[in-house]
Each structure stands twice: as C-alpha cells, then as structure tokens.
Structure 1
Amino acid sequence: MTESEIAVAAEILAQARRSGMQIEGLPVTPSSVAEAHEIQDRVATLVGQPIGAFKAGAPPEGEPTRGLIEARMIRSSPAHMSVVEVPHLGVEGEVAFRFTRDLPARAASYTREEIAQSVAVLPVIEVVSSRFREPLSRPKLEQLADCGINGGLVLGPEMADWSHLDLPNLQMTFIVNGETRIERKGGHPTDDPIAGAVALANMMRAGGGVKVGQIVTTGSWTGLPFLKPGDRCVVRFEKLGEAEIMFVG
C-alpha cells in the first residue's frame, strides 16, 4: 500500500467507528501485517479513544499479530453489551493477562520468564464485531487492519499468583443460555497461552511499550460462535474463574 492508501483506509475505518455505520471493505487490502498494524495505529489516533487492551496471536510458524482494544469497550463480568455496540455478537472464550508493571520500549527482546513475572492471569470473553458488514468474508489482512475484528472484552476475576496453574490444560466449559456447548481439557489454539503475551510485549517494544494495567488476550478456546440478542454466555476455566456476558437489544 502507498502512504495515501494507508491514510485513506485509516480514515474510512475511523469514520465507521465514529458513525457506527458498517462498510463493505477497504479500497485496497493491506499487503503485510506491518501495514495492517499501521492502519490500526492511525485509526486509534484519529478516533482518540484510549487503548486498554490488545488481542495477540503468536502462531508457532508465522508472523505474530496484535489488535487494539478501546478501553471503553472493556467491561467487568457479568457484563451487558448492546447490539448497537457490537452488532455481530461473536464470542470467544479466552485466557488473558494483565501487565502488572510497565514494559517499556527497548532494543533487547523480552523473555518468556520476564513476561511470566510481569502479568496476572484472568478468564475473558473476547467479543467479536467489526466495522465490516460481513467481516469473515474480508481478507485476513483487512480483518487485522480492523483490529482483528474486535468488538470488546469482558473480564473475569484476576489471579496474581498463577504459578500453580497448568494453563494449557485447564478444564474449560462454555455455556450459552444455560446449555453446555463445550466441555473439555485444554483448547487453546497453540497450547501456549502466554506466548501471546510475550509476542505482544515484543511487538510493542519498538514503539511505546506496554503499560501497567493493560491487558492482552491470547486466542480462542471455543472457536467463534455468533449469538443472538438476549443470549447469555459463560466461559469457565476450572481453578481460574469465569466470565459472563449478555447481549441486549
């Protein structure tokens, strides 16, 4: 993408966020993760909302990615979100981490051990919704430019000392309207939840770093079901806790 194409894409997505109107797609699709991240950053500047959290992907073989999550769209469990706010009503049960100290910009990479000592853990529901009318039909890099089609984040109880938890093998239960949809041991897409937090810290160290209190959510254990107005869902991780959301009209 050219500089002007990146600027136009950012303005289109920023206007969609301001107006609440959905768009069909971008005039030009980003050709790299770096371009998609640049669009995200410009949208954040144009909209002017503080960033309270991130979603991060750390595939074992592939480029890490991140999506910005506006602080105003982070809610404590049990939470309500309206169809106006998050029209697509997608949900993903996840394990997230809150940074308990600043991780500033620096040249050296942050290690796994440093990150493990710098985070608390919590169950969350990532709410998936987009500025695109049909987000899953758009190319992956367009979805990434739209912050990985994130709509919001619901936070369960935080655990500061989680050294006793076998995070990849937690027993997870996913419940919709009182009906258990999924119940199993494990389910993280890479079997390594904290890898997303490590990747996020290292993606951000070339810029402003990560601030104490910010959160990173690290991949869905539940797939991506789409719900309906009035639906209530819970994701429960044994020994960790649960997060709950209800969608209202």
Structure 2
Amino acid sequence: MTEAEIEAAAVLLADARRSGTQIDRLPVTPSSVAEGHEIQDRVAVLVGEPVGAFKAGAPPDAEPTRGLIEARMVRASPAHMAVAEAPHLGVEGETAFRFTRDLPARSAPYTCEEIASAVTVLPVIEIVSSRFREPLSRPKLEQLADCGINAGLVIGPETADWSHLDLARLRMTFIVNGEVQIDREGGHPTNDPIAGAVALANMMPGGVKAGHIVTTGSWTGLPFLQPGDRCVVRFEGLGEAEVVFDG
C-alpha cells in the first residue's frame, strides 16, 4: 500500500467507528501485517480514544499480530453491552493477562519466563464485531486493519498467583442463556495461552505498560449471539466472565 492508501483506509475505518455505520471493504487490502498494524494505529489517533487492552495472536507458523481495544469498551464482569455497540454480537471465551509492571521495548526479546513473572491471569469474553458489514467475508489483513474485528472485552477476576495452574489444560465451560454449549478440558487454539502476551511485549514499538491487558485466543470458536442473550465463560481455577447484550 502507498502512504495515501494507508491514510485513506484509516480515515474510512475511523469515520465508521465515529458514526456507528458499516462499510463493505477497504479501497485497497493491506499486503502485510505491518500495514494492518499501521492502519490500526492511525485509526486510534483519528478517533482519539485511549487504548485499554489488546488482542494478540502468536501462531507457530505465522507472523504474530495484535489488535487495539478502546479503553471505553473494556468492561468488568458482569457486563452489559448494547447491540448498537457490537452489532455482529460475536463472542469468544478466552484467557487474558494483565501486565503488572512496565516492560519497555528492548533489543533482546522478552522470554516466556519473564512475561509469566510480570502478569496476572483473567477469564474474559472478547466481543467480536466490525466496521465491515460482513466481516468474515473480508481478507484476514483487512480484518486485522479493523483491529482484528474487535468490539470490546469483558474481564473477570484476576489471579495473581497462577503458577500452580496448567493454563493450556484448564477446564472451560461456555454457557449461553443458562445452557451449556461447551464443557471440556483445554481448547486454546495453540495450546499456549501466554504466547500471545510474549508476542505483544516483543512487537509493540514502545513496549507495554503496567495495567495493559492482552487477550490471547479463543477457546470457544466464534459463536454469534442474539439481542438479549446472556453469555458466560468459566475457567476452573480462574473464575468467570459474563456479558448480556441489551437489545
């Protein structure tokens, strides 16, 4: 993408965020993860909302990615979210991490052990919605430019001492309107939940700050709900997060 194309994409997405409208596509699809991240960053500047959290993925065979989450859309469980705020009503039950101290950018990558000593763990529900009218029909790099089609994050209780937990093998229960949809041990897409936190610390140009939260991959797939639905995700040993979509 040219400089002008990156700027045009950012303006289009920022306008959609401010107006609550949806668009069909970007004029030009990003050709790299770096371009997708650059569009995200410019949208954040244009919209002017502070960033309160991130989503991050660290697939073993691909470049890591991140998405910005506006602070106003990070809500404590039990939470309510208006349909107008997240019209696609997608949900993903996840484990997330809150950084307990600043980790500034440095030349040597942070190790998993260093990150593990600098985070608490939380059960969360990532709210999935998009500025695209049909988000899953768009190329992955367009979805990335739209912050990984994120609309918000509902956070449960923090666990500071989680050294006794095998995060990849936690028992997870996913409940919609009182009915259990999933009940199983494990389910993280890479079986390595903390890898996303490590990737985020190493990919952010300015590092990460104490208080930042990063959610790191869906254990539940991506179900889409209906107005009025109540969704709960529960992780044994961590607690639960809950959201209700107000119609």
Aligned to 2:66: 66
Q: Does 1:244 align with 2:227?
A: no
List structure 1 segments (4+ residues) > 3 angstroms apart after TM superposition. Answer: none
Q: How does 1:154-165 map to 2 (within 5 A)?
A: 154-165=154-165
Instruction: Give the TM-score taking structure 2 as reference length.
Output: 0.99
**Over the residues paired in the alignment, what is the CA RMSD in angstroms?**
0.5
Query: Aligned partner of 1:74: which letter?
Result: V
Q: Distance in 2 between matches of 1:112 and 1:16?
A: 37
Aligned to 1:147, the other structure's residue is in SS state: coil
Structure 1 position 151, deviation (Å): 0.4
Partner of 2:18: 18
Count of aligned pairs: 247
Residue 153 of structure 1, CA deviation: 0.1
Structure 2, unaligned runs of 5 or more: none
Shift of 1:108: 1.4
User: Aligned-pair distance for 1:25?
Assistant: 0.7
Q: Superposed, which structure 2 residues align to 1:38-187 within 5 Å?
A: 38-187=38-187
Residue equivalent to 1:232:
230
TM (norm. structure 1) is 0.99
CA distance in 1, matches of 2:200, 2:100: 15
Structure 2 counterpart SS, 1:218: strand
Q: What SS does the aligned partner of 2:95 have? A: strand
Query: 1:134 and 1:37 mapped to 2: Cα distance?
Result: 21
Q: What are the ranges of 5 or more consecutive residues in structure 1 without an aligned counterpart?
A: none
Look up the SS of the partner of 2:148 in the other structure: helix
Residue number in structure 1 paired with 2:189: 189
State the shift of 1:106 in Å.
1.5
How far did residue 208 of structure 1 move?
Answer: 1.6
Q: Percent identity?
A: 81
SS at match of 1:245: strand
What's the secondary structure of 1:210's corresponding residue?
A: coil
Aligned to 2:215: 217
